[in-house]
Amino acid sequence: RAVTEEQEAVQNEWPSVASSSEQSYLTDQSSGLQRIAYAAQDTFALIVNSFNVARNIDDLLKVDSGPKVRGKTVRCLDGLRTLSMAWVVLGHTYIWTLSLYDNPSKVLETEQRFSAQVLDNGFLSVDSFLFVSGLLAAYIMLGMAAKSDKLPFVKLYVFRILRLLPLYMFVIMCQWWLLPYLVFYSPASMGLPSVDPNCSKYWWTNLIFISNFYPTELKDICFPVSWYLSLDMQLYILVPFVVLLFHRHHKSALAILLALLCTTWIVTASIDYHWNEPPNMMAYPGQPIEGWKPDVYTKPYTRSGPYIVGVLTGLVLRNGWASLFFQRYMTVWRCWLGWAASATVMVTVVYGLYPLFHYQPAHTFTRAGNVAYGTLHRTAWGVGLSWITLACHNGWGWWVNDILGAPQWQPWSRLSFACYLVHPFVLSIFTGSSAVPLHYSDLNATYWYLGTLVLTHVGALLVYLFVEAPVGRLIKASTGSSRHK
């Protein structure tokens, strides 16, 4: 007992007899442990909060419609992006089910209709996304350059990769590992590439965004629609250089963009002429799509036309040239003329191939005609979209802007990236598990399309809530970046 009391006395007097260095050491140790504990608590709270479904739903459904927001953002792009995504699903539903029909002659008749040109030229929906991607990249980066007179190149690239890869790799993992357990092959679906065996060989090409170059055949790509993400990333790499040059020397940047546009025309025309390519994949009814050269469809040197137009549109929107032009020179009749020209160009691009589909034999265009259309139609489509964007953003869109710029499009627009990645998964399950051949009719095709579209958005909602939104919140928190509208 006496020893215990003596020990307690020594312990009670420890602060007075301990050296100052020992006290400092213990204090530092204690504060360090507290900081670690606080950091662990904050990290755990951040992770839990990032996976808060209610909060993610609130962010998804958030609608910004005030006048200040409309002035800072290009709201018509929300409707444009959502409708383009619906067009992508329409085209892929049509193509993925072609081999399942027991009445292929009826399908061939459908392709020859004037109204079916929306299906036959559904590839333009991808050019719409390229236009939007180029516009937003240039628009955001020029605003950054105007504030600091420079651009954080590495940060831009890292953010872009972190924005795409988590959800991208998650969907590829599901396609590779989960899909085989969800697809039940039947005689009607044999031969369809529903389960992707090439991911075991080529998954790394998706990871480094070169799947549009290697493997060389579209049918060998891990996750076939991934070629677009590789293409978009490759084009994005050039944008910061062009934007910074435009910020400092307008004419030099515009000259470079014009030179790049002419280069893509020359390369595309050379490839089309050398291989005697049709204007698009579906232009010759009854012939296999696989015979079309992927160089024309998936490579940046042939597909960059609408992206470059989008970059130019974003630059003139951000630096005020477009606003100044509309304020000084736009009148009602000039605006009507602009809308008429835009509509004429876009309708011609979509329906200009009608003679190829309607008449038999289908080869009604000359070689020069095929080359001209194949070279210019994507850029022309981008020019039409550019007028729509400029007119809507500057108050001359009228009812078109009321539709495309409606705030109700914003939640659907936020799901567009997830929809693009999820819809092949839905189509693979549907086409790979078909127990009997499908019979084509307009009513059946509409039913399959609407079902695919609905299930795609359901799947996109799930991966957005549990993958895309949580990971995005964690990335922003770890990098200290603010949310870009």
* CA–CA separation, 424 and 380 (whole Å): 28
Which DSSP state fits 482?
P
d(CA 48, CA 452) in angstroms, rounded, equals 32
Q: Which of 466, 438, 480, 340 is nearest to 104 (CA)?
A: 438
* Distance, CA of 276 to chain centre: 31
| Amino acid 16: pLDDT | 44
- Closest among 417, 237, 227 to 303, alpha carbons compared: 227
326, 152 contact by CB (below 8 A): no
Three-state SS annotation for 386-413: HHHHHHHHCCCCHHHHHHHCCCCHHHHH
- For the CA atoms of 131, 297, 295, 387, the dihedral, rounded to the nearest 10 degrees, stands at -30
- What is the reported pLDDT for 44? 73
* Residues 176 and 199: beta-carbon distance below 8 Å: yes
Which alpha helices (H) appear in 319-408, and where do they start and end? Answer: 321-329, 332-351, 354-358, 367-393, 398-404
Query: Could you give the C-alpha distances from 269 to 273, 382, 388, in angstroms and in order?
Result: 6, 18, 27
Q: What is the pLDDT along the chain (485 residues), one digit of tens a residue?
A: 454 554 454 444 444 444 555 555 545 556 666 666 666 666 777 787 888 899 999 999 998 865 444 456 899 999 999 999 999 999 999 988 888 889 988 888 888 888 889 988 899 999 999 999 999 999 999 999 999 889 999 999 999 999 999 999 999 999 888 887 887 665 555 555 445 568 888 999 999 999 999 988 888 888 889 999 999 999 999 999 999 999 999 999 999 999 999 999 999 999 989 888 878 766 555 454 444 566 788 999 999 999 999 999 999 999 999 999 999 999 999 999 999 999 999 999 999 888 877 765 545 678 898 899 999 999 999 999 999 999 999 999 999 999 999 999 999 999 999 999 999 999 988 888 877 888 999 999 999 999 999 999 999 999 999 999 999 888 888 776 544 44
CB atoms within 10 A of CB 270: 13
**Spatial separation of the C-alpha atoms in residues 41 and 39, rounded to whole Å:** 5
At 378, list the tokens.
């994507």
Helix ranges (H only) for 1-19 are: 2-12, 14-17
In DSSP terms, which residues pair with 101 in a beta bridge? Answer: 438
Cβ partners under 8 Å of residue 432, min gap 6: 183, 184, 185, 189, 192, 194, 195
- Residue 33 confidence (pLDDT): 66
Omega cis (within 30) before 288: no
* 232 touches 133 (CB < 8 A): yes
Angle at 181 between CA 177 and CA 184, to 5 degrees: 135
User: CA 43 to CA 379: how far, in whole Å?
Assistant: 47
User: What's the pTM value of the predicted model, to 2 decimals?
Assistant: 0.88
**Separation of alpha carbons 206 and 229, rounded Å:** 9
The first and second tokens of residue 331, run together, are 């009148």
Give the C-alpha separation, 141 to 155, whole Å.
Answer: 12
Shortest CA distance to 313 belongs to which of 236, 275, 233, 257? Answer: 257
State both tokens at 262.
Answer: 């002419």
DSSP summary character for residue 288: -
Peptide bond into 197 cis (omega under 30): no
Position 3 scores a pLDDT of: 47
Distance CA 105, CA 121 (A): 20
Structure tokens at 20: 């100052």
CB 50 within 8 A of CB 470: yes
Rounded-to-integer distance, Cα 184 and Cα 471, Å: 32
pLDDT at position 276, please? 82
CA 248, CA 146: separation in Å to the nearest integer? 10
Query: 305 in helix, strand or coil?
Result: helix
